[in-house]
A and B are shown apart, each in its own frame.
Chain A
Amino acid sequence: MLGRLNFSTQKKIIIIAFVAIPVLLLLTFAYYPALELVRLSFTNWDGMSPTSDYIGWDNYKEVFSNPEIFGVFKNNFAYFAVGIVQNIVAIYFAVILNGKLRGRNFFRLMLFLPYILNGVAVAYLFSYVFDTTQGSLNFLIGHLGFASDTSWLGNESMINYTLASIGFWRFMGFNMVVYLAALQAIPSDIYEAAAIDGAGGWKSFLHITLPNLYKIIELNLFLTVTGALEVFDLPYIVTKGGPAGASETFVMKIVETAFQFNDYGLASAMSVVLLAFVVVLLSIQRYLLNRGGQD
């Protein structure tokens, strides 16, 4: 049947036939729910009743005018700050482990392993580590002769950094592996040429390694920013948002609004705002980095 059609029509039919199913799946399970989310954000749906009323922009006004809701973003900042440090350390380890180091595969493995662990397991594990009276961290510090009753999880100004450090432990290895892959793609003859011209280690890092890693740094920063905005599992398990809400993140707030207070409309609006926030931040980041690249 297809034989009668000319080659380019056949090609089109085949392509459409193959693409149709994935596109259909994508539309049903990604785009339709996303649109539904936007629609719900303009309603006061309570999560159960068969009907809901359109209430215009009220939910959005609530999101931006209520400091209880928008204010939690400051708790997310700690994850971003630690994420930057995490990337720097990851580049450092990647460069070291890219060199001729004895047992480097072992070290790579050790640094990457935490990433494989389930996030919930990691959170539970660290709630034991940071326990004030029985935690292994305070036990270690105590044996080194320092004060061993630091409340890692109870200090309001420290709590977010404590939690972010768990994220550091978990994701640094992943960042490192991504950097490592990029490093191995840099041809070694460039380094040789630079060495002949008299460039030292630091100079070749600055002028060869970093520029070559640029795209990858951008990718890792992207992951860091979205990760910082959407962090949920760590505070949810380790602190439940405590002490007194000091470690509550925006996503925890969304979940609480929807599933505890049954305000699905407001929760949807918060999700949309989060989505918009990610887009805006990434645009800014791209703009800044790309401008820097062109100078």
Chain B
Amino acid sequence: MRKSALLAMTLVAMLSLSACSGGNNGGNNGEAAESGNAGTNANANAGAGGNAEGDATATNEGAANSEVKGEVTFLTNRTDMIDKEYNDYEKKFEAKYPGVDLKFESIANDYNAQLKVRIASGKYPDVVLIADAIPNADFPKYFAPLDDISFSDELNFKDLKSFEGKSYGVSTGGNTFGIVYNKQAFAKAGIAEVPKTLDEFYEASQKLKDAGIVPFASNFKDKWPLGAWSNDVVSIISGKPDVANMRAETDTPYAQDSTYFQSWSIIREMYAKGFLEKDVNSTNWEQSKKDIATGKFAMYGLGNWVINQVIGAGAKSEDVGFFPFPADNSGTPKAPLGSDYFYAASKDGNTAAAKAFIHWMIEESGYEDFAGFIPTLKNKPSGLAQLAEFKGYNPTFVEAVAGSDKATQIQNEAKIDQEALVQEFVLSKDPIKVIDKANEQWAKARKKIQ
């Protein structure tokens, strides 16, 4: 930390203006980019532990309620819910568990880094949120196993935060990727049904274009919205969540027969056919939300988190739809599934009450609907119309797996920024040359890492 602070300081001294610009920019796109990442990349670090589901014994709830006592504090990342929704949660939770005093504490910025500091100090709240900052192997040092909470249904991401057969984290909710679209725009272009294959998708785009509507808002210039083409769409095409990890095993991850090439070719095709914004190098994220809301633009290829933002930008909820992206002509809908933060309970805290709280958050709070997440309980229908519609297409979910350090290392060594690579791939006259160069960089870096 000390060294990084020094380097940062030196850089700041040299760049003078740059520091504030970096900060501000991060802040501006933060909400979107962050939640986007949570949706697509929220992979845990290591260790697919054993299945712990068998141990869970149903406890007699009535008896348990009175046994749970004392104070329990939840360290949340949702500063915006303090004194609002959380007051309501507290009332409902304490009504169910009269012996418990539920408290909320929030961290506004950089939750992961601050949580690390709190944990290092030895004093941290009973219930915290964990993402990737803490390796799974360290869980037993800090957290209590949560296997004995009896949920009414199977959980998503059950094993992602496990170590040596015990589960230490329960997902707060899931995120997926698909096409968010304006139903009015579709109706205006005469599209009766959402496309089920890639060809139908192109046809629909053509109809939208003919109707004077921009078919697909790529937000090309801002780079981060292009991340989906290297993560989510790749998962959809391959049906496998670990394509990114498997790159570590090859010298040519971006070759012409790779899923990456296939995925990037789709957006290149859309660019060539004029289905993206008029000038992709001059797009505007904030404006695009309004344009989707008013029907000037028809579709986004992003995570479900954007739905609430489009509604916030002025769209009527019933006008906004969400369907799985048909990345091929097979006709079977697929969608990636990634987790947001995980609940974890401090091993030294009030674990009984903490477990009761986690159980309550998953089963009864309705937090996932408020946050716009896919419910953690596998078969629980979402309270959000768009997510219910999405599930109605019966997509096969490709659940995220732990990321591999090695692939990340190679990518960093090769200095490959995949989003910039997508830009180059789409704009270049000769995309083969672009991937050849990337493959060459990759192979060179891979040799160095091994």
- A9 lies within 8 A of chain B by Cβ: no
* A132-B11 in contact given A119-B21, A245-B424 (Cβ < 8 Å): no
- B120 lies within 8 A of chain A by Cβ: no
In the complex the two chains form, is B15's CB within 8 Å of A45's CB? no
Docked CA distance A102–B287 (Å): 43
Stretch of B189-197, B261-269, B276-284, B340-348 with 4 or more beta carbons under 8 angstroms from chain A: B276-284
Nearest CB in chain A to that of B437: its residue: A68
Q: For chain B, give the interface size range.
A: 35 or more
* A33-B10 in contact given A127-B284, A153-B221, A236-B22 (Cβ < 8 Å): yes
Q: B415 contacts which of A127, A243, A261, A268 (Cβ < 8 Å)? A: A261
Residue-wise interface mask of B (1-45) relative to A, using a CB-CB cutoff of 8 A (1 in contact, 0 not): 001101101110111111011101100000000000000000000
Docked CA distance A232–B282 (Å): 19
Residue-wise interface mask of A (24-56) relative to B, using a CB-CB cutoff of 8 A (1 in contact, 0 not): 000001101110110010000101100000000
Question: Which residues of chain B (372-425) have a CB below 8 Å from chain A?
Answer: 411-413, 415, 417, 420, 423-424
* A263-B279 in contact given A33-B6, A120-B24, A244-B424 (Cβ < 8 Å): no
In the complex the two chains form, is B11's CB within 8 Å of A258's CB? yes
Docked CA distance A131–B7 (Å): 35
- A218 lies within 8 A of chain B by Cβ: no
Nearest CB in chain A to that of B414: its residue: A261
Nearest CB in chain B to that of A43: its residue: B3
Docked CA distance A87–B18 (Å): 23
Tell me which residues across on chain B come within 8 A of A119, comparing CB atoms.
17, 20-21
In the complex the two chains form, is B278's CB within 8 Å of A132's CB? yes
Docked CA distance A236–B222 (Å): 10
In the complex the two chains form, is A233's CB within 8 Å of B18's CB? yes
* A271-B14 in contact given A127-B284, A149-B278, A258-B7 (Cβ < 8 Å): yes
Tell me which residues across on chain B come within 8 A of A47, comparing CB atoms.
3-4, 7
In the complex the two chains form, is B415's CB within 8 Å of A37's CB? no
Docked CA distance A136–B284 (Å): 14
In the complex the two chains form, is B9's CB within 8 Å of A33's CB? yes
Nearest CB in chain A to that of B280: its residue: A154
Tell me which residues across on chain B come within 8 A of A255, comparing CB atoms.
11, 18, 22
- B359 lies within 8 A of chain A by Cβ: no
* A153-B282 in contact given A36-B6, A36-B10, A37-B10 (Cβ < 8 Å): yes
In the complex the two chains form, is B223's CB within 8 Å of A271's CB? no
Q: A242 contacts which of B15, B223, B411 (Cβ < 8 Å)? A: B223
Shortest distance from the beta carbon of B403 to any chain A beta carbon, whole Å: 14
In the complex the two chains form, is A242's CB within 8 Å of B281's CB? yes
Tell me which residues across on chain A come within 8 A of B223, comparing CB atoms.
240, 242
Tell me which residues across on chain B come within 8 A of A68, comparing CB atoms.
415
- A60 lies within 8 A of chain B by Cβ: no
Docked CA distance A268–B10 (Å): 10
Docked CA distance A232–B24 (Å): 13
Residue-wise interface mask of A (252-295) relative to B, using a CB-CB cutoff of 8 A (1 in contact, 0 not): 00111110111110011001001100000000000000000000
Q: B18 contacts which of A131, A151, A236, A239 (Cβ < 8 Å)? A: A236
- A118 lies within 8 A of chain B by Cβ: yes
Nearest CB in chain B to that of A47: its residue: B4
Tell me which residues across on chain B come within 8 A of A131, comparing CB atoms.
282, 284
In the complex the two chains form, is B282's CB within 8 Å of A263's CB? no
Nearest CB in chain A to that of B214: its residue: A133
Docked CA distance A263–B411 (Å): 11
Docked CA distance A239–B20 (Å): 17
Docked CA distance A240–B278 (Å): 19
- A152 lies within 8 A of chain B by Cβ: yes
Nearest CB in chain B to that of A37: its residue: B10
Q: A29 contacts which of B9, B24, B25, B282 (Cβ < 8 Å)? A: B9
- A135 lies within 8 A of chain B by Cβ: yes
Residue-wise interface mask of A (121-140) relative to B, using a CB-CB cutoff of 8 A (1 in contact, 0 not): 00100011011111100000
Tell me which residues across on chain B come within 8 A of A241, comparing CB atoms.
420
Tell me which residues across on chain A come within 8 A of B17, comparing CB atoms.
119, 232-233
Q: A260 contacts which of B278, B417, B428 (Cβ < 8 Å)? A: B417
Q: B412 contacts which of A123, A132, A244, A263 (Cβ < 8 Å)? A: A263
- Of A242, A251, A263, most B-chain CB atoms within 10 Å: A242
Residue-wise interface mask of B (406-450) relative to A, using a CB-CB cutoff of 8 A (1 in contact, 0 not): 000001110101001001100110000000000000000000000
Tell me which residues across on chain B come within 8 A of A271, comparing CB atoms.
10-11, 14
* A242-B423 in contact given A36-B7, A271-B10 (Cβ < 8 Å): yes
* A251-B424 in contact given A45-B3, A120-B25, A237-B25 (Cβ < 8 Å): no
* A254-B11 in contact given A36-B6, A153-B282 (Cβ < 8 Å): yes
Docked CA distance A236–B420 (Å): 13
Docked CA distance A37–B15 (Å): 14
Docked CA distance A177–B407 (Å): 53
Docked CA distance A243–B413 (Å): 23
- Of B13, B22, B282, most A-chain CB atoms within 10 Å: B282
Tell me which residues across on chain B come within 8 A of A128, comparing CB atoms.
284
In the complex the two chains form, is A244's CB within 8 Å of B427's CB? yes
In the complex the two chains form, is A135's CB within 8 Å of B4's CB? no
In the complex the two chains form, is A264's CB within 8 Å of B427's CB? no
Q: A268 contacts which of B7, B220, B413, B428 (Cβ < 8 Å)? A: B7
Tell me which residues across on chain A come within 8 A of B279, comparing CB atoms.
132-133, 149, 151, 153-154
In the complex the two chains form, is A230's CB within 8 Å of B423's CB? no
Tell me which residues across on chain B come within 8 A of A230, comparing CB atoms.
14-16, 18
Nearest CB in chain A to that of B1: its residue: A48
Q: A135 contacts which of B15, B24, B281, B282 (Cβ < 8 Å)? A: B282
Nearest CB in chain B to that of A247: its residue: B281
In the complex the two chains form, is A264's CB within 8 Å of B4's CB? yes
In the complex the two chains form, is B420's CB within 8 Å of A245's CB? yes
- Of B20, B221, B222, most A-chain CB atoms within 10 Å: B221
Docked CA distance A68–B417 (Å): 13
Shortest distance from the beta carbon of A110 to any chain B beta carbon, whole Å: 23
Shortest distance from the beta carbon of B240 to any chain A beta carbon, whole Å: 26
In the complex the two chains form, is A243's CB within 8 Å of B281's CB? yes
Interface pairs (7), CB distance under 8 Å: A34-B10, A47-B7, A48-B4, A120-B20, A232-B15, A240-B221, A243-B423
Beyond the given A36-B10, A154-B279, A261-B413, please list 7 additional residue pairs across the A-B interface where CB-CB is below 8 A. Answer: A36-B7, A132-B281, A232-B21, A239-B281, A244-B424, A255-B11, A256-B417
Residues in chain B within 8 A of chain A (CB atoms) = 3-4, 6-7, 9-11, 13-18, 20-22, 24-25, 220-223, 277-282, 284, 287, 411-413, 415, 417, 420, 423-424, 427-428
Q: Which 9 pairs show the lowest CB-CB distances between chains A and B?
A: A154-B281, A132-B279, A233-B21, A232-B18, A261-B412, A132-B282, A33-B10, A244-B424, A243-B281
